[in-house]
Amino acid sequence: MKKIAAIDIGTNSMRLLLCEYGKQRFGHKEKHLIVTRMGQGLSASGVISEDALFRNLNALKAFKEKADQYGAQEIIAIATSAVRDAENRKEFLNEARAQTGIDIKVISGEVEAELGIAGVVSDYDADQGELLVIDIGGGSTELVLGDISGIHYSKSVNAGTVRMTERYITVHPIAENEIDYLNKNLKSLFEESISRLKNMNIQKAVAIGGTATTIAAIYHSLCIYEPQKVHNTVITFDYLQNLLEKLKNMSVEQRYHVKGLQKERADVIPAGIVIMLHIMKNLELQSFAASENDNLEGAVIKFIS
C-alpha cells in the first residue's frame, strides 16, 4: 500500500487525511482539522481577506509538515467553494505553491459532489441501494443521488453555513424573523434540486462534512471528538428540530458549553441545521446517517492511480 496525504481546503475549515491506499482499498486512516475560515467576509467582498490567506497558508504548512512526518509518498490538495469563488484565488494558489510546493486543484461543485459520494460508497455494500449524500459545507451544499454503480443526479447549491450566516444571521440568540428569511431564501436556492429529487427513489440519506459530524458529536455529547462514535450515527428530523430550538436561543458564548460543538463552529452551526432541516422536510426524510467517509477519501480514490 502507498502512503497518501489528502488535503481539503474548504470555506470553514482545512482537513487532512493521512492514509494507506492500494488496490482500491484503504488501510490505516487518520484525519486532522483546523478551522481556518477561508470564506470569512468573502460573500460581501468577493476576495479572500489577508487574515484568511495568512490562516490558511499557515494551516497548509502545518499539514505539509504532518504529511512529511507520516512519510506520504504523494500529496493531493483540493479547494472548494471559497477558493473557486474568490477573485484573488490565484494569489492564494501561487503562495501555497511557493511556500509548500503543493499544487492545489480547484474543483467545481460537480466534482466535489462526485468525490463526496465516492468516499461514502467506499464504505458501503453493493446491496445498500440508492443513497442521497448531503454535504453541507461552509460555502455550498452538494446533493448527490447514486449507488455503487455511479451517480444518477448531482447538484451543487451556493448555500453553506458561513455564507448563509453572514448573509442572514445578524444576532445571537437568533431572531425568529431571520430564521424565516433564511428559510425563504433556501426555498429559492434548493427549488430545482428538491423538485428533481422528489421524483427519485431515495432509500437512505447519508450526510458528510462538518455540519453533519458536529450534529452527531453533539448527539453523543463528545468532549473529545471520536470518529468511530460519530460514523454511522443516525439523526432524526425531530432531534434536529429540537437541537435548533435549543441552539438558536443561546448566545454564541453559551454555545461554547454545548458538548460536542467546537467553539469555532458555534456561530455557524445553526445555519447548517436550518439547511439540513429544509432538505429533510422537503424530501420527507425522517433521518440521516452521519458519515466520516467523505470527499477526502473520494479524492484519494479519484486522483491516485
Q: Domains along the chain?
A: 2-106 (3.30.420.40), 110-290 (3.30.420.150)
Q: What is the pLDDT of residue 148?
A: 80
Q: What is the pLDDT of residue 129?
A: 79
Q: For residue 41, is it left (φ>0), alpha (ψ between -120 and 50) or beta?
A: left
| End-to-end C-alpha distance for the chain, whole angstroms | 12
Q: What is the pLDDT of residue 239?
A: 99
> How far is 71 from 67, CA to CA, in rounded Å?
6
At residue 28, the 3 state secondary structure works out as strand
Chain-centre distance for alpha carbon 54: 22
Q: What is the pLDDT of residue 126?
A: 62
Q: How many H helices and E strands in the chain? A: 13, 11
Q: What is the pLDDT of residue 127?
A: 66
75: number of Cβ within 10 Å? 18
pTM of the model: 0.94
> How far is 207 from 296, CA to CA, in rounded Å?
14
Q: What is the pLDDT of residue 135?
A: 97
> How far is 102 from 168, CA to CA, in rounded Å?
35
> How far is 47 from 155, CA to CA, in rounded Å?
24
Say if residues 198 and 166 touch (Cβ distance below 8 Å).
no
Say if residues 301 and 122 touch (Cβ distance below 8 Å).
yes
pLDDT tens string 97-119: 999 999 999 999 999 999 999 99
Q: Which residues of the chain have pLDDT under 50?
A: none
User: Which pairing describes strands 25-35 and 13-22: parallel, antiparallel, or unpaired?
Assistant: antiparallel
